[in-house]
Amino acid sequence: LTNYGGIGLIKEEVLPQYPFPPYFKLPDLGFEYIVHSDNIHSNSSKELNEKRMRNYLRLYGVDDEQKIDQIITDIVNLWSAILNITNSFDEDLANCEVLSVVMDEETFPLWDSYLEIAWNGTQFDLDDENTWPCNYFYNQLDKLCNANKEAIANYFALKFIYRMDARLEDKKFQTEHCNTMIQFVLPHLLDEIYMEEYFDNETRREISDIVKEVRKSLHEILEQAEWLDEETREQALLKEAAIKPHIGRLENKNVTNRLIRQINEFHYVEGNYELNLVNLFKFRTMQRRFNGLHHKEYDNYTMKPLELLKGIQVNSFYYNVDNSIYVMAGILHPPAYHKAWPAALKFGTIGYLVGHEFTHGFDSVGAHYNSVGEENYWWTAKAGKVFNEREECFVNQYNAYEITEIKRFVDGNQTKDENIADSGGLREALSAYHRHVKELNLSPKDEQMPGLELTPEQLYFMGFAQLWCASYKERHYWEELKSEHAVEKFRVLGTVTNIEDFSKAYNCPVGSKMNPAKNKCRMW
């Protein structure tokens, strides 16, 4: 299944640093609706998951309704049994590693077989004993699979069909789907066309100027942070000075051209849509694994994550290993940026996003990488203690946010670095905006948007909130439970309630929900 980009009982990701081996997260069980112990028997699960399985089984020739019922029951029972295993370590792989040690688990023996099947036998010279995940989970899962072979086979078959199924609601969406598929499968070829057509030097220059302004704010914050001792401050300023910005995308023609030429390896069969679809997914997976498959032909300095080469994507990054930020060309459109917007809106959107990525260099992960991207914890014990205390404030704050739609809470520990980056980024960009206004002598009238009676600061915060405007269905909340980002609603509320300038801009009374009187969290 992983060879076609599907998720059965192995959820594969590619580690974004040399030698780019696979790593694994806990699998998402279900189809449209991700199941957990507290929702597996809900009406939504039955409506979406069981209906999906029933339709596939009928479509592929199972005409005995009792047989269909039994297949579905066996698969749901299989999910329950797997969830019983993951519940023993609270669905947390870190807890699972501890449990593996406590239980004195033997190393799961089949990873070499996995590399043979999925990675053409590629071997990775890794010293880390924890390269492969939770032995306890995979050993228990192996026993469960051996005891439920028919249910496993049926589940995998249905998941493969699900992967290939476009799941379109109407024929009118077919063209759009085909366009999306080609973009998904041939991103590097289309990226060349996109960059030529939609990214220009004028945009690059303006974003470069915004990056410089936000960077000045970060530098000032690091200089003025009273809780940093001088030894740690010196290292922080050294790291900030070394951060390299990339606007548009990372340029590596050698790798990009090689990826484009791999199109010749795609096997097209005239008149066979189904086989071509299967081959497309397999080709895309091979490209996604390119770095790991070919890591011995490159080195740590010439090979970077493939995502950094794709300017077309709507994203931005901080990359610890080379201490760089990347503002991709694809994000430079509304709601993140438009050339005609007033500065308040630009700094509240793309300026904040730039600040967010800068701040990742100084979150709990960035704290373990120095100015040249080497793994090195550069904090003194005294400064590290204060950092941990401030970090804990964010953890506790977000732990208290209840996602009422599914009766779960945000995981403050899982999302802490993104929340720290949101807070730091919004502060840095606001400081940069105020400096920009002063330098250019802009008036509030210069900063208005037609039809919006908002002050420049109100417009700034509205732009930030607009970035995370989203419409959720219940199943989306379950999908995002394992994300390192908080649900969009709480990304906005959690960030602005910590910032005094927001309360001032919107006249929020002290002690109100949007301006709590105490327990405001701040790292930078």
Name the DSSP letter for residue 508: P
Query: What percentage of residues in the chain have a pLDDT greater than 70?
Result: 99
Q: How far apart, in Å, are the Cα atoms of 252 and each of 104, 147, 213, 301, 315?
A: 45, 49, 27, 11, 19
- Report the relative pairing of strands 244-248 and 324-328 from DSSP bridges: parallel
Strands in 26-133 per DSSP E: none
Domain boundary among 114, 145, 165: 165
The answer to whether residue 518 sits within a structural domain is: no
DSSP 26: P
Q: Is residue 38 part of a domain?
A: yes
Residue 127 has pLDDT above 70, yes or no: no
Q: Domain tally for the chain? A: 3
Residues 404 and 469 in one domain: yes
| Residue 463 domain-assigned (yes or no) | yes
Tens of pLDDT, residue by residue over 264-282, are 999 999 999 999 999 999 9
- Taking only the tens place, the pLDDT of each residue in 459-505 is 999 999 999 999 999 999 999 998 999 999 999 999 999 999 999 99
At 78 the three-state DSSP class reads helix
Please work out, in degrees rounded to the nearest 5, the angle formed at the alpha carbon of residue 209 by the alpha carbons of 203 and 213. Answer: 145
- What's the pLDDT at 201? 96
Show Cβ contacts of residue 127 under 8 Å, excluding neighbours closer than 6 positions: none
Q: Which tokens in the block code for residue 189?
A: 């070829």
What's the chain's Rg over C-alpha atoms? Answer: 25
Let me know whether 139 and 260 are in one domain. Answer: no
Shared domain for 182 and 265, answered yes or no, is: yes
Question: Whole-prediction pTM value?
Answer: 0.93
Of residues 500, 504, 503, the one with CA closest to residue 521: 500
Closest CA to 309 of 198, 389, 191: 191
Range scoring the smallest mean pLDDT among 116-130, 380-394, 477-491: 116-130
Residues in contact with 54: Cβ distance below 8 Å, sequence separation at least 6, in sequence order: 68, 72
In a 13 Å sphere around the CA of 74, the CA atoms on its Cβ side amount to: 18
Domain extent for 44: 2-165
Instruction: Give the tokens for residue 200.
Output: 């220009």
Asked if the model's pLDDT at residue 77 lies above 70, the reply is yes
In whole angstroms, what is the distance from residue 350 CA to residue 355 CA?
9
Average pLDDT over residues 340-344: 96
Q: Does any domain span residue 523?
A: no
Statement to judge: residues 264 and 384 lie in one domain: no
Closest CA to 248 of 192, 304, 171: 192
In a domain, 520, yes or no: no
